[in-house]
Amino acid sequence: MAAFVATNTIRRYVDRDKRDDVKRLKDALYEGGDVGLASLGQIYQLPDFVIEGTTDSNTAAASSPVISLSDEGVKFPANTHRDIVVETWAANGSNVWRYRTRQRVLGGTDPTLKGPLEFETECTAYYGMTTSDGTTTTEDATSCIAPAWWDGASPVAGSVASNTLTIQWLGTNSPVSNIIPGFVNNLDAAAAAGDSRVYQHGNVSLTNGTTDVFVSDVATPTAANFSNGSIVRVSARIFPVIQSPVIIDTASTPDEVWIGALGITSDLVTWRIRVWVSDPINLPLL
């Protein structure tokens, strides 16, 4: 079992503080090698780094470095911040994950991460079904939408049993890193007072990528079904099991900024990670 193993790395990064636009154009036209390639990359906003490699375990991202931005010459001056954008493609032979994240880094002798890791790829998934008898589910394909980073099947669920509807958000039992349950809506055009129901999210399984929706009849709480003729809609925020976060390595002196990779247990995953480093923005009041 191994952490991330790089098989190819493309480097285009040049410290932008030392490159004005005219100099970049001249370098792109007249310089060869790494300098010309880096200048072309900046002009066309190509990624500063492209790293390809593999993992075959779920070694923690903090122990599975992809690339050290600090070692590559990226500076994080005091009272400035940079945005680090990471676009990840990963595949294990069965599925492909693709997503883009953004992380702010506050500069200083020891840089620090600021704010949450922002997913720029849509992570909200939706499940929709109808039922004519209150328990048997018929998926509405147009309302069963997987998170945008997933290339596999759409969400599905079985029949209601023991007051519970179990939704497989990735179309089958498949691990995820986090699930944040959202809304549960039930529409019934012929609803009467006796059709009133109470809904709540039940068990959440990250191992299986599933959530339960618990339903009970207001008048008879033990009743285990939706009202007949129901149209049901459910949502949840689903995050991929693989991860490629920006990491602060505190074991170094000073602390370093790098990208890590978290794979899947006993599963060969191939990666292609593209990294953009923004210009430093001066924030003197920090």
Q: What is the pLDDT of residues 91-100, one digit of tens each?
A: 998 899 999 9
The tokens describing 140, both together, are 């509405």
This prediction's pTM? 0.86
pLDDT at 220 > cutoff 80: no
- The pLDDT of 247-267, averaged and rounded, is 93
Q: What one-letter code names the amino acid at 147?
A: P
- pLDDT category of residue 187 using cuts at 50, 70 and 90: confident
Beta-strand pair 197-205/281-282: unpaired
The phi-psi region of residue 93 (left if phi > 0; otherwise alpha if psi is between -120 and 50; otherwise beta) is left
Q: Which residues pair with 139 in a beta bridge?
A: 129
The tokens describing 147, both together, are 């998170």
Q: What SS3 class is residue 249?
A: strand
State the pLDDT at residue 206: 97
State the pLDDT at residue 163: 83
Beta-strand pair 49-55/269-277: antiparallel
Q: In sequence order, which residues have a C-beta less than 8 Å from that of residue 106 and are 6 or more positions away?
A: 76, 80, 81, 112, 113, 114, 286
Q: In sequence order, which residues have a C-beta less than 8 Å from that of residue 49 and are 6 or more positions away?
A: 9, 10, 11, 12, 13, 67, 69, 72, 273, 274, 275, 277
pLDDT at 39 > cutoff 60: yes
Helix 33-43 and helix 21-30, axial crossing angle in degrees, nearest 10: 130
Q: What angle do CA 60, 65, 69 make, to 5 degrees?
A: 135
What is the DSSP track for 2-45? -S-EEEEEEE----GGG--HHHHHHHHHH--HHHHHHHHHHHTT
The phi-psi region of residue 42 (left if phi > 0; otherwise alpha if psi is between -120 and 50; otherwise beta) is alpha
**pLDDT tens digits for range 47-106:** 899 999 999 999 999 999 999 999 999 999 998 999 999 999 999 988 999 999 999 999
- The pLDDT of 223-235, averaged and rounded, is 80
**In the predicted model, what is the mean pLDDT of the chain?**
88
Q: Domain coordinates of the chain in residue numbers?
A: 5-121+247-280, 125-240
pLDDT at 223 > cutoff 70: no
How far apart are the C-alpha atoms of 257 and 61, rounded to whole Å?
13
C-alpha Rg value of the chain to the nearest Å: 24
Residue 161 has what DSSP assignment? B
State the pLDDT at residue 224: 65
State the pLDDT at residue 231: 87
- pLDDT category of residue 21 using cuts at 50, 70 and 90: low
- The pLDDT of 114-131, averaged and rounded, is 95
Name the residue among 66, 68, 55, 51 with its Cα closest to residue 3. Answer: 55
Name the residue among 65, 82, 63, 66 with its Cα closest to residue 74. Answer: 82
184 vs 189 pLDDT, higher one: 184
Question: Which of 8-22, 29-43, 84-98 reaches the highest mean pLDDT?
Answer: 84-98
What is the DSSP track for 168-207? ETTSSS--EEEEEEEEEEEE-TT--GGG-EEEEEEEEETT
